[in-house]
Structure 1
Amino acid sequence: MGSWDSTVGQANYVCKLKQTLPTLSAALDELRARRNDVQRKVDLDEQRQLRRLDEVQLWLSKADTMITEADILIEDGPREINNLCLGRCASKNCLSTYKFGKRVAKRLQDIKDHMSRGAFDKVAETQPTASMILRPEERTIALESTIDMVWNCIRDRDVGIIGLYGTGGVGKMTLLTQINNKFDTTPEVYDVGKIQDEIGETIGFSNESWKNKRVDQKAVDIYGVLHNKKFVVLLDDLWERVDLNKVGIPKPGQENGSKLIFTTRSLEVCGEMEARKRIRVECLKPEDAWKLFQEKVGDETLNIHPDIPKLAEQTTPGEWKYAIEKLKRSALPKMENEVFQLLKFSYDNLPRTVKCCLLYCCLYPEDYAIPKKTLVEYWFCEGLLNEFDRIIEAEMQGGHIISSLLSACLLERDGEHRVKMHDVIRDMCLWIACELEAKGQRFFVKTGAELPVEPHVKAWEGAKRMSVMQNRIQVLRETPTCPNLQTMFLMCNELLVIGNGFFRSIPRLTVLSLLNNKDLKALPQGISQLISLECLDLSCTGIKELPTRLKSLTKLKMLDLSYTCYLRKIPPRLISSFSELQILRIWNPPSLDPAKEDNVLDGVGNEKLTEELESLQHLNTATIPPITSMVALQRFQSLELLPCRTESLFLWHFWKSNVFNVLCLEKMEHLERLDITGCGGIDIEIRKLNTNTNYTSSLHTLREVTITGSCKLRDITWLILAPNLRSLELKHCGKMEEILSRGKLGEVADVVGISNVSPFRKLERLYLNYLPELKSIY
């Protein structure tokens, strides 16, 4: 019976083949029409920013497959019908025709079933929340704590916008990838259009018609999807503020619980983006850098021979330096092509003036702590701070530039008064300054190399700036011809002699620094030929006298004679001949023998020199030698201009008992440092000088106070007049009982009219040494 049924079934598929093929063709036309209708509905809804339903997409996919397969069957149908013979139900190859007829019948039934499922009430709906995309990541070295910090900010509902900033290549992208994979979320671009396209693709706006919309139209669409959802957006490497409104991103915050996390090389961008939390991504510490090095190099290479540590100990420093220099040179092409190009992107985005100021910093040796004040003064004399003619205003521009470079992580802080340049940033700057600059604009830099003699002149004659700081050069004998040279750093060497012809052919030299050459006793005759010189820094040298021939330096704006301990002679009318001088520092320790006081170079005790200082109409910043008597102090206070220009005041070795009224300093509106040393007989009081004077900020510029060897002072409560005091140093004050006396606070406040006394609010450094009677600080 079963065999009969099977035979009948086979014959049935074969005999009805001529009927089922036309029926299949008609059903196929209906399915194709239904598929086209559904597709048109989907297209219309997607243009309205809706997203097609998954079941609709599945139906359309299956319909396409069925149409393709049915077309093949209908195409093969005539051949199979021609095989039929022996009447309606016979076939030359019954088995083949049976299988074909069965496929036709099954495809016909499948099409009818699929058609019945193709009646949709709706084919699309509103967009879902942002999809999640995992990204490949590298293993982090020493970033775990930063990741934890960011993650804690993400959990903090009050923090909506988080800025991660740091120099190029420090690991911000790696950190962002780690955060991305914790979240599994969105884009990493900063152009408004690109951000919109990235977000649009993630939330379903992916067709070309949407991408061709205007930015403002896209913003409306994106906002419509995100405004009532909780989202996270990641943006990598921002160089400027991104207007979230223009993109269409609702501002993240406590109300919606959403987050925006971005990376940047600039702290300023963090502010412009209104980041509630700003996290600096630091360079690796040495131990972490070593771990990364081990990981990249591999134990097999590091442990290639057990004697390597012993060999390292036996190798001389010179051999190590030679090997390191060889390594640097072999690695330089790769650094230029990869690391420097990455960092140069930060440099290229700086304004021209800031670029020049940044490159200037590579004149200093590796890891050198650069004094900010000196740096700004050199910039000023070089003409880099060309917005202002006076150093007082130029210091503001210079301070802003330094802040910008710190914010961009191209400089690093080293305490309050100094900055450093990271080794890699410095190498990049040297690459630009020494290799990429045009001929005649390039730098020559050989610092910290322990050079015993001067470099050959041919190597630096065409340079614009040269620095041979921190070497062991003792003699400069040659006569270089340098038509373009503007800057010469000879600091921190062991100079004994500079040949008379050395400065003969450097007509454009603007800044000459001989700082910290303690054995240099005299200046060469040829220095008088530097007629373009605007800065002469002789601080910490052994100079004994200034030559009269310096009068030819009529453009001089800065003369620094700080800590010239052996300087005892300045020719008459020399200082007054520098009519453009804005910065003058004359500081050397006085004699400890009061009988020799007349022989001491004393800017106040020497009346003629005092007159010259007073005559300098452009002088803005001055440091004068220590004042060694109350008579000299009173004479100084009576001057019209010099006190208000003085930035540092030294009162040393007052031998007689005197009372010093600290309110006499009110006239010194630029006083930053006060040093009272060896004044055993001095006592300090506060006595009102003028009833109409407001003393609430009379010492507001005072930053640093040092008192040494005072045997009368019991307290220094008068310091409440210095609200910006940063450093306080007290040594060998045998009767000091209190730093600030609680009992005297009210008395001092009443005298000067101060209310709401809050002393030491900005104090950063407190040094106390040998104060045997000290009972309390405050």
Structure 2
Amino acid sequence: MTCGMFVIPVIKEIGLCLWHSGFKRAVLICDLKENLNSLGVTMEQLMQIYEDVEQRVQTEELLLLAKPTKEVAGWFDEVRKLKEDVSKTLRDGEEQEQSKCLAGCCPKNCWQSYKLGKRVNKMLDEVEKLKNKGRFDVVVAKMHNSVDKKPMDETVGLDPMLQKVWRCIEDKSLGVIGLYGIGGVGKTTLLCKINNLFLSLSHDFVEVILVSVSKQPVMKKIQKAILQKLGFSEGFRLDSTVNNAFQIFRRLVKRKFLLLLDDVWERLDLNLVGIPLPNDKNESKVIFTTRSEDVCGLMGAQQNIRVECLTQEEALRLFRMKVGENTLNSDPRIPKLAEVMAAECKGLPLALVTVARAMASRKDPEDWESEIAALRNAPSEFPGMDSVLLPLKFSFEKLQNATLKSCFLYCCLFPDGYNISIEELIEYWGAERFLDEYDRDGEYIIRSLKRACLLESGESEEFVKMHGLIRDMAWQECSDKVAIFIKRDAESNEERGLRRWNEVERLSLWDYSIDDVLIKSSPSCIEHFSKHITQLLNLRTMICKVPMLTTFPAGFFPLMSALTLLDLSNSFLLRELPQEIGKLINLEYLNVSETAITELPAEIQRLEKLRCLILNRTKIWEIQRGLISRLQFLEIFSWFGYVGNYICDRDSHLLEELDGLPHLSEICIAIAYHVASVKILMGSHKLQRCIRKLFFSSINGLTFLEVSPILLSRMEHLELCRCEDLKEVEISPGTYYPRHEFSLLRKVVIVSCDSLSNVTWLTYAPKLQTLELRDCITLRGCIALWEGTNMEKKLIFSSLMFLRLVRLPYLRGICNHVLPFPSLGKIEVLECHNLKELPFDSKSAKNCLIHGDKMWWDSLRWEDEATKQVFSSKFVRHSR
């Protein structure tokens, strides 16, 4: 009994194990068909996951120039191997299913069915594991950095410009940004600084690509640089430009990229390169540098940013940095000499760096003094300066035609840093026959030279300047037929082009020695040149601006028979023109403005070829009867400025003589005191058609002024002064709609017209840039617009840059509608106590400063709180 008690449980347990084992095998055999179906379904699910992951990899490989992570690559291998195994297993299952006996109810070989069932179960587990494993957060690893660091030295003065560019990068509406400026100003350095900025900042640009384009771009070279940055190996074989463009486009089209193009000289078609055009959807950016603003337009830039030269303080800081403290501290005189030398570089970074490196080892102050003199008198011979002047020369050579080049080189006749009057410059060009008969296209040439960064804006819109180093480059391009002499003081002169006196055709004389002691201790430039008069037989142009000149030495003019242009303006003390002036029989241009001359000598009438006569701001009170009528080829006549420089009743003959000149095309005149002269002017269609500047002063009885389309066809400047009876100015019928008839008027000044109530007629002057209203006691509003006005409000005052309102006690408003004022830069309001509103909203006059009294400013009412907030930082308190 004891033995049975032990044996029976053991046998029972063995029996149970054998039963369970047999049962499991039986289940595997019985469920084989169902498990095979499950294996097929789950494997299809795994392959769907596989395809999804594969698609992600392919997409991100293209977008990110990446490859699958090792984990993903291993998973791919496992899935592919398992797929092969599952396929074989499913085929084995199919064979066994077909070989069953007893009408398909019993397997032919139970052992084989059991082993297959076991394998199917194991594969089901493996498939489930791979399905779970296929849920990847990251499927690719990047193959290269999105930003390559560019080597560069420490910079000075570029941070404000960098901030301006950064604001454009953040602006989603700006896709293409142009940076322009003269050669050597630091555009490439700025572009490298932008590139390197993305090394330290978090950003979402997938690619930041910097490519140099150069003066003569090669498409394949540009494409190769981009493709290499996109991950193509050095040994990548370039295909046709079309296929290269396809490769680039395919890799960038779905990415957010930043493309930096350096040194673009002409339009580069981004489509041909393969660059997808930036837009507000892809948020990509293209930033390029160029030396011409015209290229910015050709490239479709939505924002143009001019890269300016350094300020005087920044320039000195950069110069000292490159010279080094060791040299600067070697002698107490050198720091001051360094300031002088840095100033000679005119803020151009390339020049500052070049000159500083040349001086870094110079520790003798006398060496510094010698090199300063060399830099002033012969900059091209200074060590390393060729590398500075050559880029500037490229900009000159890129000018489209000979006319542009001649007009540019003419600016050499002005001193370094001089504010050149645009009006005067165009007159010169016309007199030299660079332009067709004083063609006003001269303004187009000014704009072209400014866009090429060969000229820059002067102290106001009426002036331009030439950078000192551009002037040095231009002198290299001038022939020996051009010369300039500038007398600064008793010891300092500038002379250029005076090696061969007998070849000189254009001569410019400037004398700044206005101190009596200096005048007595050294000869004036006129005395200096009178010694060489006999050699100036080929002289055609003479610009003579000598403030202390009172008269010319005897015999100065007779030998200059070839002279065609004579400008004596700004010779403030010059009292008379010598009778010898009549011997300049080829003279075509004569300007005696800003002189003390009191009358024109009768000999002027001998100048039968004279085309231009300018007498502004002189002491000439009257012009002899019959003198002007003798000048039958006269095209331009200008006489206005000082009290007395006007036409009144005694000069009415002058209008009649001008009316009789067959070639007259332009006049600038002032009419004063009596209505009779106004009637003569308004009665002549020819004179009205020629008016460019017109001044009415103290004309009694003038109550109504009707401005005709003919008068408006050329007029640019109108002044009404002390016309106390004038109540209304009206545009003649028929001129409201053809606004082009009124398109040239740019400046209007109205002073002490006590009966005038508004100037609404100015709404038809789309190019008006300056408006000044003073001491008009009845003026209540500038312009009044009524509902249904047949004009676009965005065109009203769209070009206005400067508005001055002074002592207008009843002025209540500028306009009864909000206007955009897109060009307005400055408003000056003084003693206009009833002016409580400005026609602005928060989007108006974005670049405008408002000058006035604080009490007036505090009393203003604004369109809304947003407008008040916008303009709160734009007020400048008037200093009395």
Fold match (TM-score > 0.5): yes
Q: Secondary structure at the match of 1:728?
A: strand
Q: Distance in 1 between matches of 2:677 and 2:66?
A: 91
Shift of 1:304: 4.9
1:538 lines up with 2:592 in the alignment = yes
Q: Secondary structure at the match of 1:624?
A: strand
Q: Secondary structure at the match of 2:317?
A: helix
Q: CA contact under 8 A between 1:539 and 1:562: conserved in structure 2?
A: yes
2:662 matched to which residue of 1? 617
Q: Can you list the C-alpha shifts for 1:729-769, whole angstroms capped at 9, x where unaligned?
A: 23333x23524265xx559x99xx77869754433222333
Find the partner of 1:740 among 782, 788, 793.
782
Q: Which has the higher contact order (CA 8 A, sep 6+)?
A: 1
1:361 lines up with 2:416 in the alignment = no
Structure 2 unmatched ranges of 5 or more: 1-64, 70-139, 199-207, 340-365, 514-523, 816-880
Shift of 1:339: 1.4
Q: Distance in 2 between matches of 1:648 and 1:266?
A: 33
Shift of 1:490: 0.4
Q: 1:754 to 1:197 in 2, by over 3 A?
A: closer
Q: Can you list the C-alpha shifts for 1:568-614, whole angstroms capped at 9, x where unaligned?
A: 33351x323333322111236455xxxxxxxx973775343222201
Q: Secondary structure at the match of 2:727?
A: strand
Q: Can you list the C-alpha shifts for 1:156-187, whole angstroms capped at 9, x where unaligned?
A: 44333221111111111111111222346332
Q: Can you list the C-alpha shifts for 1:265-286, whole angstroms capped at 9, x where unaligned?
A: 1111111111222221111112
1:372 lines up with 2:422 in the alignment = yes
Shift of 1:416: 2.0
Q: CA contact under 8 A between 2:210 and 2:262: conserved in structure 1?
A: no
Q: CA contact under 8 A between 2:728 and 2:757: conserved in structure 1?
A: no
Q: Distance in 2 between matches of 1:202 and 1:253?
A: 22
Q: Distance in 1 between matches of 2:502 and 2:271?
A: 55
1:638 lines up with 2:683 in the alignment = yes
Match of 1:685, as an amino acid? E
Q: For structure 1, which segment, 133-142 or 185-194, has the greater mean C-alpha deviation from structure 2 after superposition?
A: 185-194
Q: Secondary structure at the match of 1:626?
A: strand
Q: Distance in 2 between matches of 1:677 and 1:756?
A: 29
1:203 matched to which residue of 2? 230
2:607 matched to which residue of 1? 553
2:447 matched to which residue of 1? 403
Q: Distance in 1 between matches of 2:491 and 2:802?
A: 37
- Report 1:579-618 matches (<5 A): 579-587=632-640, 589=642, 602=647, 605-618=650-663
Q: Distance in 1 between matches of 2:297 and 2:685?
A: 44
Find the partner of 1:499 among 540, 553, 562.
553
How does the TM-score come out when normalised to structure 2?
0.64
Q: Distance in 2 between matches of 1:755 and 1:229?
A: 41
1:44 matched to which residue of 2? none
1:428 lines up with 2:473 in the alignment = yes
Q: 1:603 to 1:321 in 2, by over 3 A?
A: farther
1:653 matched to which residue of 2? 698
Q: Secondary structure at the match of 1:146?
A: helix
1:769 lines up with 2:806 in the alignment = yes
Find the partner of 2:578 among 512, 518, 524.
524
Q: 1:622 to 1:229 in 2, by over 3 A?
A: same
Q: 1:258 to 1:676 in 2, by over 3 A?
A: closer
Find the partner of 1:328 among 360, 376, 390.
376
Q: Secondary structure at the match of 2:634?
A: coil
Q: Can you list the C-alpha shifts for 1:668-691, whole angstroms capped at 9, x where unaligned?
A: 4222222222333x1222568657
Structure 1 unmatched ranges of 5 or more: 1-50, 56-124, 314-318, 592-599
Q: Secondary structure at the match of 1:188?
A: strand
Q: Distance in 2 between matches of 1:691 and 1:280?
A: 43
Q: CA contact under 8 A between 1:604 and 1:636: conserved in structure 2?
A: no
Match of 1:292, as an amino acid? L
Q: Secondary structure at the match of 2:685?
A: coil
1:286 lines up with 2:330 in the alignment = no
Q: Secondary structure at the match of 2:670?
A: coil
Q: 1:285 to 1:309 in 2, by over 3 A?
A: closer
Q: Can you list the C-alpha shifts for 1:238-272, whole angstroms capped at 9, x where unaligned?
A: 11011223222232333433332211011111111
Q: CA contact under 8 A between 1:730 and 1:767: conserved in structure 2?
A: yes
Q: Distance in 1 between matches of 2:654 and 2:445?
A: 36
Match of 2:447, as an amino acid? S
1:465 lines up with 2:491 in the alignment = no
Q: Can you list the C-alpha shifts for 1:524-572, whole angstroms capped at 9, x where unaligned?
A: 3333333332221111122222233333433322111111223533351
Q: CA contact under 8 A between 1:547 and 1:571: conserved in structure 2?
A: no
Q: CA contact under 8 A between 1:164 and 1:280: conserved in structure 2?
A: yes
2:108 matched to which residue of 1? none
Q: Distance in 1 between matches of 2:475 and 2:630?
A: 38
Q: Distance in 1 between matches of 2:715 and 2:602?
A: 31
Shift of 1:353: 2.1
Q: Distance in 1 between matches of 2:732 and 2:276?
A: 60
Q: CA contact under 8 A between 1:587 and 1:624: conserved in structure 2?
A: yes
Q: For structure 1, which segment, 458-467 or 365-374, has the greater mean C-alpha deviation from structure 2 after superposition?
A: 458-467
Q: Distance in 1 between matches of 2:582 and 2:539?
A: 16
2:484 matched to which residue of 1? 444
Shift of 1:143: 1.0
Q: For structure 1, which segment, 639-648 or 469-478, has the greater mean C-alpha deviation from structure 2 after superposition?
A: 469-478
Percent sequence identity is 36
Q: Can you list the C-alpha shifts for 1:333-373, whole angstroms capped at 9, x where unaligned?
A: 22642211222121222233222211111211222211212
How does the TM-score come out when normalised to structure 1?
0.72
Q: Secondary structure at the match of 2:566?
A: strand
Q: CA contact under 8 A between 2:178 and 2:288: conserved in structure 1?
A: yes
Q: 1:545 to 1:300 in 2, by over 3 A?
A: same
CA RMSD across the alignment: 3.9
Q: Secondary structure at the match of 1:395?
A: coil
Q: CA contact under 8 A between 2:184 and 2:388: conserved in structure 1?
A: yes
